[in-house]
Amino acid sequence: MRGELSVFSDLDEAARALAERVVRAADDAVARSGRFTLAISGGKTPEPLFGLLGGPWAKRMPWTRTELFWVDERAVGPDDPESNYGGARASLLAEHPLRPEQVHRISGETPDPESAAKAYELELRSFFADTVPPVPFTFDLVLLGIGPDGHTASLFPGSPVLEERIAWVRAVPTPVVIPRVPRITLTLPAINAAHEAAFLVGGADKAPALRSILSNPDARETSLPAARVQPRDRLEWFVDRAAAGGMRPTR
Ligand code: 6PG
Give residue-wise pLDDT tens across range 19-54.
999 999 999 999 999 999 999 999 999 999 999 999
Q: Which atom of ligand 1 is nearest to the CA of 84?
A: 7
- Residues 182, 80: Cα–Cα separation, whole Å: 14
Minimum CA distance residue for ligand 1 atom 13: 43
Q: Which atom of ligand 1 is nearest to the CA of 183?
A: 7
- Tell me which of 70, 149, 152 to substitute to probe ligand 1's pocket, judged by most ligand atoms within 8 Å of the beta carbon: 152
pLDDT: which is higher, 23 or 218: 23
What pLDDT score was predicted for residue 133? 58
The band of 11, judged by pLDDT with boundaries at 50, 70 and 90, is: very high
Q: At what angle do helices 47-54 and 11-33 cross, to 10 degrees?
A: 50
What pLDDT score was predicted for residue 134? 58
